Amino acid sequence: MSVIKRFVAGAVCPRCAKMDTIRVYRNEIREYRECVKCDYKDGQNLDGSPEPVSELATRVNSEKPVNASGAKIDQVISQPINFDPNSFKDS
């Protein structure tokens, strides 16, 4: 099955601010927007339902820094993992 990608006339990329670089394509459940000039990519469900939380907040990922545009910044931080099986007993 081929995916048809259509350019959106007059659309401005929210990341690089270039015009006519946004193209959209969709599958059965989601519509995607992407910029051909930068790595911007966005998607939304066709039925308008809110975005699912991509990742449950845990102690590990909740401290991941977020830059001004809201994009996650991947940082490689080595840290010890303290696994205490007893901590799950009373929950």
User: Where do contacts with Zn ion occur on this chain (CB under 5 A)?
Assistant: 13, 15-16, 35, 37-38, 40
Quick check: 36 and 23 in contact, CB under 8 A? yes
CB nearer Zn ion, residue 26 or residue 37: 37
Give which of 56, 10, 51, 55 is closest to 32, Cα–Cα. Answer: 51
CB nearer Zn ion, residue 42 or residue 44: 42
CB nearer Zn ion, residue 11 or residue 38: 38
How many whole angstroms separate alpha carbon 59 and alpha carbon 8?
A: 40
- The CB-of-37 to Zn ion minimum distance in angstroms stands at 5
